Amino acid sequence: MTATDVVTAFIDHLNAMRMDDAFVLLADDIVYHNIPMKPVTGPAAVKAVFDQIPFTAVEFITHHSAEHDLTVLNERTDRFKLADGRWVELRVMGVFEVLDGKITAWRDYFDLGQWMAQLSPQ
């Protein structure tokens, strides 16, 4: 599997709400950094970040992707369906580092203000 194959499989699992299958592709010491927030380390910490969002469905839509060595860059729109039925979405630039078939680092760059504004009750 190429690094792109691993990242694509990870995103496909997320989109299908198969979180356990997705998190199997994370290295034990993964560093996940939602910039500008603080990074977290380990699959359980990544899961805790996802657990903070009350979503019932998710769509990570990859618009462009590039791979160099073991690093995958992708431009995405991440959409989350909230428990109240609303969809919130965010443009994201993602960076994934892959080693031995596992994602060892994941950084997402996005506009936190845009995200927070959408989470406000309507």
Catalytic residues: 78, 108
Q: Which two tokens stand for residue 87?
A: 């969809």
Partners of 75 in the β-ladder: 64, 93
41 contacts 30 by C-beta, under 8 angstroms: yes
